[in-house]
Structure 1
């Protein structure tokens, strides 16, 4: 379950559905997970399945509060019913560069996700307002995000790949990490991708 993975992993959004569904596949094109965000919910509700058939639920990610600037997202292991971890956005600090904290099942913050370059978001907002040119910004304005532990050691990097609709992201592991922490980081990234995509 989200271990022994062949990196990089591709997060690829489906453009044929109204909901924000996407596949996660490994370097060889093998399924890692299928992610489905429930529509028309006041609080974010995301289900992680083993594949697109949606027969086996692996994890559930739910917002702890109704729409809130500092909302946090509880990650639950669907097989055990236990809380697996938590992702929380750093409110005001994320206005310039997106920042998220990743905590384990005991609420202990272990990792942070940081957007690498805040200027890309600013430029994307400006260029996006220009007719025709704005449609193509997804080809040359692509943010990246890095996961670090509390000591500043880098473990993962997620990059938005050039595409017309911003539908593909790629996750690479920089150094080895414990299996349970690896799953926690991947789950946190998939929730973050949904949140950042909504923000533009």
Structure 2
């Protein structure tokens, strides 16, 4: 990564697009990552670019298996260097989203949704025609990133918006450069996996 990230990060994705795509901007409004997920890919392979031109790839996110409830998503740089990965907590994530960010098999961060009720109401109202458009203004799911010792590192919160998903990622504790890359890629992956519920 050429430069360290400047938090808070603004993450927006288009709700009406056929293929999931979203843009990440830093505190100064500069693009730091752009993702366009390919349709109908059984084994997820996602390229993260610097911006919407898709000229310069930054990272690759790739699932370790074709069909599974909780695959491990590996992170690599353009040269194929491993940067860790992320894995969903499995059946527990049916009610409250949870993920582990790993590096060489060791958990470095956990990402957990703060409120089961907010998730339920956001998903329920999001399915109702017309009224569902307002769910983005009423309910704001949030995710906390913590270290194994419980230190809060970052928080990702849904912001009010129509026709797009908008999230803000705030940094709460210092991280090194490698952890910063893992954090960005983990949040990108969480939003891609969770975007199906609005």
Give TM-score, length-normalised by structure 1.
0.92
In the other structure, the counterpart of 1:93 is 92
- The question of whether the paired residues in 2 share the 8 Å contact of 1:142 and 1:160 is answered with yes
Is the deviation greater in 65-74 or in 184-193? 65-74
Counterpart of 2:55 in structure 1 is 55
Residues 13-162 of structure 1 correspond to what in structure 2 (within 5 A)?
13-14=13-14, 17-79=17-79, 81-104=80-103, 106-162=104-160
Shift of 1:185: 1.1
The answer for unaligned runs of 5 or more in structure 2 is none
> Contact between 2:126 and 2:133, CA under 8 Å: does it hold in 1?
yes
Q: CA deviation at 1:134?
A: 2.3
Could you tell me how far apart the structure 1 residues matched to 2:168 and 2:68 are?
28
Residue 35 of structure 1: how far off its partner (Å): 1.3
Alpha-carbon distance between aligned partners in 1 of 2:2 and 2:186, rounded to the nearest angstrom = 12
CA deviation after TM superposition for structure 1 residue 70, in Å? 1.6
Q: Secondary structure at the match of 1:177?
A: coil
Q: RMSD value over aligned CA atoms?
A: 1.7
After TM superposition, give the deviation of residue 107 of structure 1 in Å: 1.9
Query: What TM-score, normalized to structure 2?
Result: 0.93
